Each structure stands twice: as C-alpha cells, then as structure tokens.
Amino acid sequence: MKTSKKLFLTCCFLLVCLVVSLLSGRYELSLHDILSVLSGEASGTMNANIFYHVRLVRCAQVALSGMALAVSGYLYQSCFHNPLVSPDTLGVSGGASIGAIISILFFHDGFLLRQVLSFTGGILAVLFSLLLSGMIGTGKRSSLLLAGIITGALANSAVMAFKYLADPTTQLAVIDYWLMGSFSLINRRKLLSTAIIVVPVLFLTVLFRYRLKALLLDEEEAQTLGINVRRLYRICIALATLLTAASVSVSGIVSWIGLLAPHIVSLLFRSSFEETLLLSMPAGAAILLLSDTVARTLTGAELPVSIITSFIGAVVLFVFLSVKRRRNL
Amino acid sequence: MIEVRNLSFAFPDNVVFDDLSFILNDCPVTAFLGLNGEGKTTLIRLLLGLLKPDKGNILIDKHDIGGLNEKERAKLLSYVPQENDDSLLMSVSDFICMGGINRQSLFTGPDENERRIAKDILKELDALALYDRKMETLSHGQRRLIYLARAIFQDSRIMVLDEPVSSLDLVRQHAFLKHLRDYTQKNGRRVLMSIHDPSLAYEYADAFVFFRNHGSYDVLYRNDPSFKEKFSNDISILYENRIRPVYIDDGVFMSYGSEDPDR
C-alpha cells in the first residue's frame, strides 16, 4: 500500500471520530445544526456559541494532544529501541504532576499557574534525567533509560508525599482528578498555548524525519556513519518532551496514547519509520477523540479520560497481539 | 598508512594494550590475525574512535583520529561490525542509503540518484533481489552482504570489518571475500579486517598483522621476498606450534596436531 493511501485511510478514520465527537455531548447538536452553524446561518445563536466556544475548542485540543502524545511516544520508542516505552520514560509526566500538585496545594489553584508549573516541571524532570545519565554513564541510550527510571521513582515518591499532605476533603480529589487527565476545563487560551508549542514541534519532527530515522540504527554503527549520536538523542528527547509537556500541562496525565497509536499504525499497515511517524498523528488524534467522547457521554458526570484510554489500550493491545500471534502460527 | 603509536588501553579489569606500536603501509586488503581475546576487536574499535585510548594515538593517512569528529572520521573509515540485531527495523534500500546520510539533504533523505547507486552496488554483489526486502526478514548471510553494501555506499578511504565471514558457510565466505577484493581493485579503496581462518587470509589478503600477548609481533606483506617462510613462522608463533601450514598450489592448508616437527 502506498503512503498516501495509508494516510488517506487514517485521516478518514480521524474525520469520522471528529464528527462523532462534535455531535455528542450534554447539549444536543445534530449534524444539521452543525452544518447550519458552519454555513453562518445560525450565527449568534446558542448552537453557534456552544459549537465554537465549547465543542470545537475541546475537539481541537483533544486532537492536538492525541497527535502530540502519539508522536512523542513513537520518538521515545525509536530512541530507546524499545517498543514498550511511553512518553514519560524520562520523567516528563512525573515532573508535570509535581508542578501541577504544587500549584494545587500552595497557590490555590490558578489555572494558568498550574499549566505553567506543570509544563516547567515536566521539562525540569527530563533535564534532571539527562544530568543523571551523564553521572551514571556516558549519556548513551542505556544510561538514559536508567536515569529516567530513577527520576520517575523520585517524582512518584514526591507525588505520594504531596498526596499524603494534601487536605483529603478538598485538595486530594483535585490532585487525583488531574493525575487521571481530563479535557473538561479546556478553553481557547489553553488551546492556543498548546498549539503554539505542539504545531511547530510536530512540523519540525516531520521535516527532520529522515535524520530521526537514524535513531533506529545501533548506536556505534550510527557513529561510524558520521552521525553525532548524542546530539541526535538530545534532539529527539527535546522534541518528544516538548510535545508531551505541552499537552499534559493542560489536560493532566493521559496515559497509553503514546503506546497505542504507533503500535496500531505499524501493525495495521506494516509501515516504515517515516510512515509511522506521519500516521501516528491522525491515529493518536482519532483514538483520543473517541476516548474523550466516551469519557464525557458514558455517565452523567465527566469521567477522567485515562480511565478510558487505559481500558481501550488494554483491549486493543490484547486483540492485536493475539491476531499477530495467530498470523505467525 | 596506518600508524599506531605507543597505544595503551585497558578495560576496568583487563589490560588490552600496553604500549602497542606498529606501522602498516597501504595495501588493498589487510588481515588482522590473532587468537580470541588478543584485542583485535578492541583495536578495531579504537581505530574507529568508538573507544578512546588511555595513552598514545593512531594516525591514519597522517590524521590523528582522536582529533576528528564523527563526520570526518566517517569519510576516512567505514565499518562492518560483527553480527548485530539492533538496527534491523528498516528496508534494505534505506539501510544501505544510511551509509551516505551526511551527503543527503536534511529534509528529503536519499534521492533517486543515491537509490540507483545502492541498486548498482547490490547488483555487483549479486544481491539485487534483496533491494525491496526488509532487514529483519533476511538470513545472516544476506545481512552480511547488506552491511558490506552499506560500507561500500559510504565510500570511505578504508573499510574496517570485524570478523566479516566467521558466521558464513564456506561458499559464502569465499564469495564475500572475493567481493571485497573486487571492490578494492575497482575503487582503489583499502580494506582492513580481522579474520580467524589463516588460509582464507592467505588467499585474499596482501598484508598481515599478527597479534599475540596483547601486542603485534609482526607486520608481513605478500610482496616480501621470503613471504612463505615468514608466514609459516608467524603462524607457528600464533598457534604455539600447534598449527602447521601446508602449501598446496596457490593455497595453504592448516594442519593441526602431533605431526608438528618442532614438538
């Protein structure tokens, strides 16, 4: 199958998910309503307000986060030659959690501050991992992974300590809700601030895809081909970290997208590196849109989105692995 | 010319080289001969700059390789490592073109011309059918050829190979080494390889570096007036008189055992 056909199919799936997501919600908007809003007939009405200020903003944010997390996951998996690592291998999520919790506990929950602190926390955690990897090894692949595990453990310990200290009647619930991720509090400002980071980084990633492909090579081989391996890893980690930190800082922790999207794409299409990188974007957006739609329609209240993504992740992974196994037998 | 000057290198619990020095003149094919654990692979990795010497330096064509960056080194040396399962997640064509990554545009990857060169190289190696395959689906022997193709594509002055034929069957060993020799003759490039089988080395190499007790005890050239005599002598030092070369026509047969006259 050609790349363009694969891309077309994935984008069709994304479009379906997008329409379903735009149509569903507490406030009823039919396809007809949306079309009339889009054609400008219904401007100024409640329908138009809901559509432009709530539904569309949320869907755009979800799609953007889905793309960012999927690409970030695939970059990390390629960088570490490990199909099971996720975007938070080097501690982005842990650091972001600490940032968010600090804002919840000590600054009475200004939303902008929470976003800024969790973004900064995510970046700092990864810098800490890089620093550690220089101290325990040579800054190569294996030492990075180990440094990431250490950072993750430290962050986890801090998160637990903060939760222990938090006021159980007010703060604890907010923290837990953040740690399970949700797009319920999305607004235009958040969408814009994510897009400012995510869109250019995705663009750069796609632009440099042939260089990034060298990540798939063995470290020493790549070096003898004239590649500055350490710089390549740093660039890859920087791109992946910015993507994850930008999306996690507005939604809280959203798990599994970074693992699911690239795996589904490469199992379905047997795609090459460049293709998987490209296709992971619509695939990640589509999966997260579906998950978010389920999260906000399944019950009367909003469910945290990681409940859904983790469940879908488990089911899909099982189905794919068993199908793959049967094919091999 | 390769000059190793007072080279010392040790792993944390193992001294590999202590003050190693030798000079190797330009030859199409050079073979490194030595028993397991004598430091052939370590020397290759030092040559490639993958390891840093504790003391001393290595000069290749007057360039101190310690002072070069990856890019400059890649122009000087290409590398065919021992069996490696860690970089197989791409197509054969992409894998070969990785050999020229520094010549390619940052954004578009290998162009039509480079793909064609990769095809031509595969044709020369009688492996054109592999062009569209994926690396992970190839057999060991096929992968060896693709590694060779990538090193040829890289087009460096010297190709360094670490035990390139030790996992191949006899027919493929000869085919591989013939390809290697053809390559040096056609392109005027040099090849440097470590190899275990002295009869294969005898058949295909023009120069020999013998390693023993973590040092090189002889550098021998085929055009040496008393080449056979010296080769026999070096072989008996290498194997502590347990192997005796028996020359038959153009080749040499390695005989093992008690018939050894020196015993």
Q: Please say whether the beta carbons of A245 and A122 come within 8 A.
A: yes
Contact yes or no for A225 and B49 at CB 8 A: no
Segments making up each domain of chain A, as ranges: 3-322
| Residue matched to tokens 């600054």 | A107
Distances B195 to A163, A316, B141, B191 between C-alpha atoms, Å: 61, 49, 16, 12
| Residue matched to tokens 């360039």 | B63
Contact yes or no for A218 and B81 at CB 8 A: yes
| Residue matched to tokens 């190899």 | B195
Average pLDDT, chain A: 90
Closest CA to B88 of A265, A81, A278: A81
CATH number of A3-322: 1.10.3470.10
Q: What DSSP assignment string belongs to B16-52?
A: EEEEEEEEE---SEEEEE--TTSSHHHHHHHHTTSS-
Which chain B positions have a beta carbon within 8 Å of A225's beta carbon? 74, 98-99, 101-102, 154
Closest CA to A240 of A113, A45, A80: A80
Q: Please say whether the beta carbons of A186 and A61 come within 8 A.
A: yes
Closest CA to A104 of A92, A113, A96: A113
The domain in which residue B77 lies consists of 2-223
Q: Tell me if B52 is assigned to some domain.
A: yes
Q: Is A3 on the interface with B (CB under 8 A)?
A: no
Q: Please say whether the beta carbons of A190 and A113 come within 8 A.
A: no
Rounded to a whole number of angstroms, the CA Rg of chain B reads: 19
Q: Is B137 on the interface with A (CB under 8 A)?
A: no
Q: At CB < 8 A and 24+ separation, what contacts does A200-208 make?
A: A201/A68, A201/A239, A201/A242, A201/A243, A201/A246, A202/A67, A202/A68, A202/A71, A202/A243, A202/A281, A204/A239, A205/A71, A205/A75, A205/A239, A205/A277, A206/A277, A206/A278, A207/B107, A208/A235, A208/B106, A208/B107
Residue A132 CA to residue A136 CA, distance in Å, equals: 6
Q: Is B17 on the interface with A (CB under 8 A)?
A: no
Closest CA to A306 of A298, A295, A320: A295
Contact yes or no for A226 and B102 at CB 8 A: yes
Mean pLDDT of the A306-323 span: 87
Q: Tell me if B232 is assigned to some domain.
A: no
Q: Write down the pLDDT at residue B93.
A: 94
Q: Write down the pLDDT at residue B180.
A: 94
> Do strands B158-162 and B251-256 pair parallel, antiparallel, or not at all (unpaired)?
unpaired
Measured from the Cβ of residue A270, the count of other Cβ atoms closer than 10 Å reads: 12
Say whether pLDDT at A46 is over 90.
no
Distances A104 to A110, A113, A117, A133, A163 between C-alpha atoms, Å: 8, 9, 10, 31, 11
Least confident of A282-286, A317-321, B94-98: A317-321
Using one digit for the tens of pLDDT, what is the confidence trace for A111-160?
788 999 999 999 999 999 999 988 887 657 888 889 999 999 999 999 99
Contact yes or no for B107 and A210 at CB 8 A: yes
Q: Write down the pLDDT at residue A48.
A: 85
Give the DSSP H or E segment for A5: helix A3-23
Alpha-carbon gap: B150 to the closest alpha carbon of chain A (Å): 9
Of B89, B101, B107, the CB nearest to A227: B101
Q: Is B132 on the interface with A (CB under 8 A)?
A: no
Closest CA to A252 of A310, A148, A176: A176
Which chain A positions have a beta carbon within 8 Å of B60's beta carbon? none
Q: With a CB-CB cutoff of 8 Å, which residues 136-165 of chain A face chain B? A: none
Q: What is the pLDDT tens value at each position of chain B, 263 positions in all?
A: 999 999 999 998 888 999 999 999 999 999 999 998 888 999 999 999 999 999 999 999 989 998 899 999 999 999 999 877 776 789 999 999 999 998 888 888 899 999 999 999 999 999 999 999 999 889 988 999 999 999 999 999 999 999 999 889 999 999 999 999 999 999 889 999 999 999 999 999 999 999 988 888 889 999 999 999 999 999 999 988 888 888 988 888 888 875 555 54
Contact yes or no for B87 and A218 at CB 8 A: yes
Q: Write down the pLDDT at residue A112.
A: 86
Of B69, B98, B109, the CB nearest to A225: B98
Residues A24, A25, A27, A29, Cα dihedral to 10°: -10
Q: Is B41 on the interface with A (CB under 8 A)?
A: no
Of B49, B90, B110, the CB nearest to A273: B90
Q: Write down the pLDDT at residue B263.
A: 46
Using one digit for the tens of pLDDT, what is the confidence trace for A230-280?
899 999 999 999 999 999 999 999 989 999 999 999 888 888 899 999 999
3-state secondary structure of B3: strand
Q: Please say whether the beta carbons of A232 and A214 come within 8 A.
A: yes
Of A207, A223, A274, the CB nearest to B50: A223
Q: How many domains does chain B have?
A: 1
Beta strands of B37-181 (E only): which ranges?
55-60, 63-64, 77-80, 158-162
Say whether pLDDT at A281 is over 70.
yes
Q: Is A273 on the interface with B (CB under 8 A)?
A: yes
Q: What DSSP assignment string belongs to A226-285?
A: T--HHHHHHHHHHHHHHHHHHHHHHH----SHHHHHHHHHHHHH---HHHHHHHHHHHHH
The structure tokens listed for B74 are: 């890649």
Of B101, B108, B109, the CB nearest to A226: B101
Alpha-carbon gap: A207 to the closest alpha carbon of chain B (Å): 6
Residue B259 CA to residue A173 CA, distance in Å, equals: 86
Closest CA to A211 of A263, A266, A274: A274
Q: Write down the pLDDT at residue A82.
A: 86
Residue A262 CA to residue A72 CA, distance in Å, equals: 10
Q: Tell me if B211 is assigned to some domain.
A: yes
Closest CA to B118 of B94, B144, B83, B89: B94
Contact yes or no for B94 and A227 at CB 8 A: no
Alpha helices, DSSP H only, in A166-226? 171-180, 188-207, 209-212, 219-224
| Residue matched to tokens 């976003």 | A115
Q: Please say whether the beta carbons of B203 and B177 come within 8 A.
A: yes
Q: Tell me if B260 is assigned to some domain.
A: no
Q: Write down the pLDDT at residue A35.
A: 83
Q: Write down the pLDDT at residue A319.
A: 84
